[in-house]
């Protein structure tokens, strides 16, 4: 995000504070969600874009859900040089994923 031209520096500086506040408010609700039970199946393709160094959402947790999720197509995509935000940390690769894989494979 810090290298993004879409955000001004004051917005970038406030981001950490806002993210921390959101995290503290939402974590109890998020921790109570059981996706295996509430969303065991979807009718659309699913793509998991996962940062190799993500310690906020460890890949073991998402991998467990990914392995049980039933979907017409599902794909696990590693972002080797990212943590929690591959859309900012590997912008070109993320854009390429969306433009050249997700969009073409999900157009009806």
Instruction: State pLDDT tens for residues 40-53.
Output: 999 999 999 999 99
Q: What's the pLDDT score for residue 14?
A: 84
Q: Is the torsion defined by CA of 103, 19, 4, 11 positive or negative?
A: positive
Taken as a whole, the chain contains a residue count of 108
Q: Is 77 exposed, middle or buried (0-12, 13-18, 19+ CB in 10 A)?
A: middle
Question: What are the structure tokens assigned to 65, written together?
Answer: 């859900």
pLDDT at 68: 97
Distance between CA atoms of residues 91 and 49, nearest Å? 12
Residues in CB range of 57: below 8 A, 6 or more apart: 84
Dmax (CA) of the chain: 43
pLDDT confidence tier of residue 8, bands split at 50, 70 and 90: confident
Q: Return the pLDDT at 16.
A: 78
């Amino acid at each position: 995000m810090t290298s993004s031209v879409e955000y001004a520096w004051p917005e970038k500086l406030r981001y950490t504070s806002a993210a921390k506040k959101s995290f503290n408010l939402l974590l109890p609700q998020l921790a109570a969600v059981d996706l295996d039970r509430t969303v065991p199946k979807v009718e659309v393709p699913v793509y998991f874009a996962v940062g190799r160094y993500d310690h906020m959402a460890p890949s073991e947790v998402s991998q467990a859900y990914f392995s049980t999720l039933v979907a017409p197509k599902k794909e696990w995509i590693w972002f080797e040089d990212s943590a929690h935000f591959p859309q900012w940390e590997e912008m070109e690769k993320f854009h390429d994923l969306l433009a050249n894989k997700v969009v073409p494979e999900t157009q009806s």
